[in-house]
Chains A and B, each alone.
Chain A
Amino acid sequence: DTEVTQTPKHLVMGMTNKKSLKCEQHMGHRAMYWYKQKAKKPPELMFVYSYEKLSINESVPSRFSPECPNSSLLNLHLHALQPEDSALYLCASSLLTGTNQPQHFGDGTRLSIL
């Protein structure tokens, strides 16, 4: 178990569905991240939030829409996904931005697109 909590753990959705992934941390971290990890590949950065503001978008398709409602919560809204979007979606957080703070990962949401 980690101090970064992701829900749901598993999600199966059709290409026309709308769903959301949720990430929560109560460690007072002010930077939060979304990564995507395909099988047998390393995690790839998608988005970075710094003090609740989007600071990095790694050219992610608009069918992925991040949201950071407060300093503890990070959402990833999904709409019209493609089968190739099936992957493990990892949320991470770090204490501060712009400093050498390690990132701590949640357990991930395993997403399958039918």
Chain B
Amino acid sequence: QKEVEQNSGPLSVPEGAIASLNCTYSDRGSQSFFWYRQYSGKSPELIMFIYSNGDKEDGRFTAQLNKASQYVSLLIRDSQPSDSATYLCAVSGESGGGADGLTFGKGTHLIIQP
């Protein structure tokens, strides 16, 4: 059974600082890794996805993947109060992000302090 682990938080970060969110996964065959942001009472919104080892940057967001350590992270630079949300790490299996469905971590609650 696939497991995805995240620290539930809350993680409190001052406005303008870098927020660092971490995730580990159990299935070494996992191929695709996704970060979703979910505001309270809303549906998950895709922020980043990464498939290869290394870093992937998109605006203020950087996803990092280390398959040897089974570790994926999300960095948010210049954190804004609007970044306050729950961040869900999701993983899909050997056939990719399509037919397998996603296995989610429990999410990290991020609070950006003005």
Contacts and interface: CB of A to CB of B under 8 A. Distances in A.
Contact of B51 (A98, A100, A104, A105): A100
Nearest to A51: B99
Contacts of A8: none
A104 B46 contact: yes
B106 A106 contact: no
A105 B101 contact: no
Contacts of B101: 33, 35, 45, 48, 56, 58
Interface in A21-71: 31, 33, 35, 41-45, 48, 50, 55-56, 58
Contacts, number: 77
Given A90-B44, A100-B51, A45 B99 contact: no
B106 A50 contact: no
A96 B98 contact: yes
A24 to B, nearest CB: 15
Interface in A85-114: 88, 90, 94-108
B25 interface: no
Interface string B32-63: 10101000001111100101000000000000
B7 to A, nearest CB: 14
B102 interface: yes
Given A102-B49, A104-B46, A45 B102 contact: yes
Contacts of B44: 43, 90, 105
Contacts of A88: 43
Contact of B98 (A42, A101, A107): A101
Given A50-B98, A94-B98, A102 B46 contact: yes
A99 B106 CA distance: 25
B45 A102 contact: no
A43 B44 CA distance: 9
A42 B106 contact: yes
Interface of A: 2, 31, 33, 35, 41-45, 48, 50, 55-56, 58, 88, 90, 94-108
